[in-house]
């Protein structure tokens, strides 16, 4: 029986070199990826000892040592006198990032909606005098102009190293048809146009320092989360904008990163009373025709499902803060960061599985719809769509767990 010929020593050296090059280009950190890299190098070492001459083996061993050194200790730039502007520091990711960067020695310009908010008072109390609080409402051009002027005036000696577009806005969780057009506009004003205007205004400083732009996005901008149409479309728009900046600013040495966090327990997520008020406001302003077609129970069901999904949120915000810090200081920052549990599985399902399975997964993970009132059995002219009968995640009535 004919045997498959073994590759020559030179071929094995080429394979090993390609594997090491791929490792050098990757963004692996200590953990399972590094263990996999060690296993690969061990297998290559075993093969090389049998197939390569001593000189080639020495070269490969040196290359492997360099690769593993870079994997285990990612290169970080010194903080020195670097200055960073962070938006949305009243709470959540922005506040925690401002605290960490201040403790590391950064000069932090932290914007807040209200200078006397609890988050602003906390930052003023626990941070160093280097941290400066700036009032900023991204929907007001006057506020943006004032922040731009302050930043230019107070970074003349240090320069501006980084901009962290963290401020975000979402005020409704409902189907796109049920969401007022004003909600789409308000989300775009903060999440897209505000970030666009602030970023463009600071680009001269960032180009001069060959600095960093870090923007907090959302997986809802990459995949169709149920009931997050207004928020998701604004996050999709800002992600595409940052990808455009990344390409256009490459000759200037400015690096652009997007953080796509999972579900974390920020202050806005924990504020159940706020979400209840927003639901009541939605019901009060819903056109009568839509209220009759969908029914109050439908909206109550969505609200209950949304609150259920928030119970799965992570309380530790450090993965997002660490991702922002790495994007600011890594010698070779990633284009995308995905801090949070289960995101790898979510993106795998979104990109590689059929559309029906993707939809069912998002419904099971986030919000599983029930049938609107007009489509429920017994209603005049009700004809449930064919997909409803085939979809096991679509209930025929409101969830029994929803309080009425």
**Enzyme catalytic residues:** 231
For 39-103, the DSSP string reads HHHHHHHHHHHHHS-HHHHHHHHHHHHHHHHHHHS--B---TT-EEEES-TTSHHHHHHHHHHHH
> Phi and psi for 132 in degrees, rounded to 5?
-120, 130
Q: Which residues contact 235 (CB under 8 A, 6 or more apart)?
A: 168, 191, 217, 218, 220, 221
Q: Are 231 and 244 in contact (CB under 8 A)?
A: no
Angle at the Cα of 17 (from 12 to 21), degrees rounded to 5?
150
Q: How buried is 293 (Cβ within 10 angstroms: 0-12 exposed, 13-18 middle, 19+ buried)?
A: middle
Q: Which residue, chain included where needed, has tokens 């791929």?
A: 22
Q: Are 130 and 108 in contact (CB under 8 A)?
A: yes
């Amino acid at each position: 029986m004919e045997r498959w010929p073994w590759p020559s020593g030179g071929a094995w050296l080429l394979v090993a070199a390609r594997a090491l090059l791929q490792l050098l280009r990757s963004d692996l950190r200590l953990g399972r990826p590094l263990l996999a890299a060690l296993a690969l190098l061990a297998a290559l070492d075993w093969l090389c000892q049998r197939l390569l001459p001593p000189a080639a083996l020495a070269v490969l061993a040196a290359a492997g040592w360099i690769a593993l050194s870079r994997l285990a200790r990612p290169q970080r730039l010194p903080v020195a006198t670097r200055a960073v502007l962070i938006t949305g520091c009243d709470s959540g990711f922005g506040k925690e990032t401002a605290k960490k960067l201040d403790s590391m020695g950064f000069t932090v310009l932290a914007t807040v909606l209200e200078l006397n908010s609890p988050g602003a008072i906390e930052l003023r109390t626990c941070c160093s005098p280097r941290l400066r609080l700036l009032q900023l409402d991204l929907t007001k051009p006057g506020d943006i102009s004032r922040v731009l002027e302050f930043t230019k005036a107070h970074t003349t000696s240090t320069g501006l190293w980084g901009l962290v577009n963290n401020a975000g806005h979402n005020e409704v969780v409902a189907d796109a048809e049920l969401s007022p057009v004003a909600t789409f506009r308000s989300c775009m004003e903060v999440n897209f146009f505000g970030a666009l205007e602030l970023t463009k205004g600071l680009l001269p400083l960032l180009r001069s320092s060959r600095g960093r732009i870090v923007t907090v996005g959302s997986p809802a901008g990459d995949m169709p989360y149920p009931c997050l149409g207004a928020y998701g479309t604004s996050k999709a728009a800002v992600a595409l904008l940052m990808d455009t900046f990344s390409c256009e600013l490459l000759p200037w040495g400015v690096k652009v990163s997007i953080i796509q966090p999972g579900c974390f327990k920020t202050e806005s997520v924990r504020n159940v009373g706020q979400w209840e008020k927003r639901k009541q406001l939605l019901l009060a302003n819903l056109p009568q025709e839509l209220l009759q077609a969908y029914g109050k129970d439908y909206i109550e069901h969505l609200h209950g499902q949304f609150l259920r999904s928030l119970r799965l949120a992570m309380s530790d915000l450090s993965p997002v803060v660490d991702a922002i810090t790495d994007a600011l200081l890594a010698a070779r920052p990633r284009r995308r960061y995905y801090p949070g549990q289960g995101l790898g599985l979510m993106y795998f399902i979104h990109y590689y599985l059929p559309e029906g399975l993707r939809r069912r997964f998002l419904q099971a993970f986030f919000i599983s719809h029930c049938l609107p009132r007009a489509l429920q059995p017994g209603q005049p002219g009700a004809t449930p769509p064919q997909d409803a009968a085939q979809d096991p995640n679509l209930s025929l009535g409101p969830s029994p767990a929803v309080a009425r």
